[in-house]
Amino acid sequence: MKGKLYVIGVGPGDPELMTLKAVRILEHCGVWLAPAAKKNGESTALGIVEGVVDRRDKEIITHHFPMKKIRMGQVPDPEVKKAWDAAAAQIVGHLQAGRDVAFPTLGDPAIYSTGFYVCETLFALAPDLPVEIIPGVSSIGASAAAAGQPLCLGDDRLVVIPATFENGRLRETLEQFDSVVLMKVHRVMDRLVPLLAEMDLLDKAVLVERSSQGGQRIRRDLTTDLKPHYFSTIIVRKS
Ligand SMILES: C[S@@+](CC[C@H](N)C(=O)[O-])C[C@H]1O[C@@H](n2cnc3c(N)ncnc32)[C@H](O)[C@@H]1O
């Protein structure tokens, strides 16, 4: 008998933003493999889940995934690939022994989440293993809600982009779209803020730090603190 892998979006931080389905499946799965951004560090996704689901009878594996740039169509950094391989190998072991595995992931699994890389690695090892993706509330929606503004209305064109890419690509995107969501902004504020100023977009931008979490902050002046928390998203809406 084979088990099933569930990649579960657990929302942006507030446990109340977990879906009923996410809670039910986490309660059902005996094994949780939770991603951690730092070696021997805590898993944010696990922290969210623990606010709602009792972990006492669960086998919990916290697995470190290094935070490095991934470009589609290019070979990933060997350290990153090694982490995907190791996670997939552990998951395959449990699934082949008939145990269902939950992979809780921050926000929604479809948005810049390690969950899909792990699935791809898993399929290369065992193409017929069953996998189900459970959507979650993304930090994008949560950030817009915290800022009290829409992402797009009417015929607005909305785009999501990691701010870690080069200024040329950011500039082009900011020129072309009506509404731009910039993720992973925390390490690049020193070049992003001057770019927004140069494009006369600073007054159209809002930075939401730790949306729905304790310590949530909404900042419309981006020039004063260039070192926000990793969980920070900027929304630039022109209209
Ligand atoms: C690897 S991506 C994960 C996105 C996630 N899958 C989602 O749907 O929200 C990490 C980035 O998401 C954004 N992020 C995650 N949680 C956030 C939060 N609570 N508030 C604001 N931004 C957040 C930040 O831009 C962060 O750098």
Q: What is the CATH number of the domain that holds 193?
A: 3.30.950.10
- Structure token pair of residue 88: 């997939």
* Across 64-84, average pLDDT: 81
pLDDT in tens, 16-47: 999 999 999 999 999 999 999 888 779 999 99
Q: Is the dihedral of CA 139, 140, 144, 150 positive or negative?
A: negative
**Residue 143 and residue 58 share a domain:** no
- Structure token pair of residue 54: 């009792």
48 lines ligand 1 (CB under 6 A): no
User: Which contiguous run of DSSP H or E holds residue 114?
Assistant: helix 114-125
Strands 179-183 and 232-237 come out as antiparallel
116 lines ligand 1 (CB under 6 A): no
**Residue 130 and residue 12 share a domain:** yes
**Residue 143 and residue 115 share a domain:** no
Last residue of one domain, picked from the residues 89, 118, 134: 134
Q: Of ligand 1's atoms, which has the minimum distance to the CA of residue 186? A: 27
Which residue lies with its CA nearest to atom 27 of ligand 1?
184
Last residue of one domain, picked from the residues 104, 134, 164: 134
Q: Which segment, 51-55, 114-118, 162-166, 173-177, is predicted with the most confidence on average? A: 173-177
Pocket test for ligand 1, best of 231, 234, 235, 236 (most atoms within 8 A of CB): 231
pLDDT in tens, 161-209: 999 989 999 999 999 999 999 999 999 999 999 999 999 999 999 999 9
138 lines ligand 1 (CB under 6 A): yes
**Residue 76 and residue 145 share a domain:** no
183 lines ligand 1 (CB under 6 A): yes
**Residue 151 and residue 77 share a domain:** no
Other beta carbons within 10 angstroms of residue 60's beta carbon come to 14
**Residue 11 and residue 71 share a domain:** yes
**Residue 106 and residue 15 share a domain:** yes
Greater pLDDT, 135 or 65 = 135
**pLDDT-derived band at 1, boundaries 50, 70, 90:** low
pLDDT in tens, 131-163: 999 999 999 999 999 999 999 999 999 999 999
Q: Of ligand 1's atoms, which has the minimum distance to the CA of residue 110? A: 6
Last residue of one domain, picked from the residues 105, 134, 163: 134
**Residue 12 and residue 85 share a domain:** yes
Which residue lies with its CA nearest to atom 25 of ligand 1?
183
Number of domains in the chain: 2
Centre of ligand 1 to C-alpha 210, Å, is: 8
Q: Of ligand 1's atoms, which has the minimum distance to the CA of residue 230? A: 27
Pocket test for ligand 1, best of 14, 19, 140, 183 (most atoms within 8 A of CB): 183
Q: Of ligand 1's atoms, which has the minimum distance to the CA of residue 213? A: 19
Nearest-angstrom CA–CA distance, 82 and 154: 44
**Residue 153 and residue 125 share a domain:** no
Range of the domain at 229: 139-237
Closest CA to 177 of 202, 198, 201, 194: 201
| Average pLDDT along the chain | 93
Q: Of ligand 1's atoms, which has the minimum distance to the CA of residue 113? A: 6
**Residue 122 and residue 11 share a domain:** yes
Centre of ligand 1 to C-alpha 174, Å, is: 20
**Residue 100 and residue 120 share a domain:** yes
**Residue 129 and residue 22 share a domain:** yes
